[in-house]
């Protein structure tokens, strides 16, 4: 019985040493990287006008709409959100971040 207890304690001690060795203090105390900061704040990606237009063209692929048609629309953010939700319902591959970026860009572009 005593041997079994000693073996259990020894195994537990070895496991604790392995676990503590796997977590290096350098990794724990390392300053956050830019990617870590961006992930933590969930900051949206900022694209210039040409990149936003390319994104919009990419999302329009297979759609009956043209850039000229999209630009001719004078919609509010809520209306664009509803429109994009409808397009997503029809199968448009637009994620939440892209949707937010497109709405912001479409209502503020001049």
Phi-psi region at 93: left, alpha or beta (left = phi > 0; alpha = psi -120 to 50): beta
- Cβ atoms within 10 Å, residue 25: 7
Copy the structure tokens of residue 94.
Answer: 């637009």
Separation CA 2–CA 90 (nearest Å): 69
43-56 pLDDT, tens digit per residue, is 456 788 889 899 98
- pTM (two decimals): 0.57
73-93 pLDDT, tens digit per residue, is 999 999 999 999 999 998 889
């Amino acid at each position: 019985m005593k041997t079994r207890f000693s073996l259990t304690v020894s195994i537990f001690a070895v496991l604790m040493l392995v676990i503590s060795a796997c977590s290096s203090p350098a990794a724990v105390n390392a300053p956050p990287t830019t990617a870590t900061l961006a992930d933590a704040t969930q900051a949206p990606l900022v694209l210039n006008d040409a990149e936003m237009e390319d994104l919009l063209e990419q999302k329009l692929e297979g759609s009956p709409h043209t850039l000229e048609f999209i630009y001719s629309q004078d919609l509010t953010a809520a209306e664009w959100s509803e429109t994009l939700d409808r397009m997503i319902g029809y199968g448009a591959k637009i994620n939440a971040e892209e949707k937010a970026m497109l709405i912001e860009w479409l209502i503020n572009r001049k």
